[in-house]
Amino acid sequence: MVARQAVHDPTNLTTPVSILVTGASGFVGAAVVRHAATKSWRVRAAARRPLVDLPAPVELVCGGDLAVASGWSTVLDGVEAVVHCAARVHVMRETAADPLAAFRATNVAGTARLARQAAAAGARRFVYLSSLHVNGNETFDRPFTAADTPAPRTPYAVSKLEAEVALGDIATETGLEVVVLRPPLVFGPGVAGNFAQLMRALYRRLPLPFGAIGNRRSLVGLDNLVDLILVCARHPQAAGRTFLVSDGEDLSTPELLRRTAAALGVRAGLLPVPAGALRALAALVGKGDIAQRLCGSLQVDMGATRKQLGWSPPCSVDAQLRRTADHFLANLAPG
């Protein structure tokens, strides 16, 4: 058993903590760094590329490629908690000959190496940013809970589950306090991917064929996710647990589009095309996964998160949509 480095006072959630944030140049990691710095936490940011507007007290270190990097001991010196956001993420145009092997090299083997070195360096806690897709891609009769049997459907989700299992084994061997978070789709200022594409379409007032969809989906705004991450970095009841997270308000695709359009100052033009027709057409052109995300339901029951941590989302959906839209209008919108 490796000797643990004690957090100053684990029952006082306002005492500053020394943390290492991996993936600090990414969407979530950068937000964790900024927010932790505002709390006067001692933040070491591991990134593979330079960071802009880095808060002055933050120490920037080179994280390297998780798939091959092995020398974390110097970076981990004096760190009480690791917030592990770095990962090989799902990509729309996969180039790897063996995607699962590529995901495993970074998300499983790389995560396990980092966790073992964190334990050896005396870190007390390891917060792992996993994915709701460990549970599955779609809900039907009820929302997902953290106690459900995992059912990952993609190589990315399989690798995330395997990393969770590896971290559990390391926790048992070393005493490292592992906390797993499984967020759904994350949105916020600077969001990319499908969410950004939908914002562009709304801003340009393009008609979208989603008016007849009656699904329910859980989302989580960046502010709410980061708040929970930092709670999990030190809360005594978080150790050894897996938590689901959302904004606490499930939306249909039409509701999300209308409220996002309102935040952008435009009106959503939604055409009432039946969901079945959309799915069939998308399957014909090889876009079935996108149709599933837009037409299917994916709901989270985070009652256990609220109960165990006494945590509730501090920001409303609409407030976060406004922040997201403001950033889009200031930085991405043409003209």
| Catalytic sites, residue numbers | 156
Q: How many CB atoms lie within 10 A of CB 16?
A: 14
Instruction: From residue 43, give the alpha-carbon distance in Å to each of 14, 28, 225, 305, 308.
Output: 15, 15, 18, 25, 26
First to last CA, the chain: 60
Closest CA to 194 of 117, 260, 280: 260
Tokens of residue 209, six digits: 């064929």
Tokens of residue 51, six digits: 């960071």
The answer to whether residues 298 and 202 touch, using CB atoms and an 8 Å cutoff, is no
- Find the helix or strand (DSSP H, E) in which 306 lies: helix 303-309
Closest CA to 294 of 329, 253, 240: 253
Strand 185-187 with 81-84, pairing? unpaired
What are the φ and ψ backbone dihedral angles of 186, each rounded to 5 degrees? -105, 130
Q: For residues 211 and 269, what is the distance between their CA atoms, to the nearest angstrom?
A: 8
Closest CA to 110 of 152, 65, 74: 65
Residues 6+ apart with CB under 8 A from 246: 183, 184, 218, 219, 220, 300, 302, 313
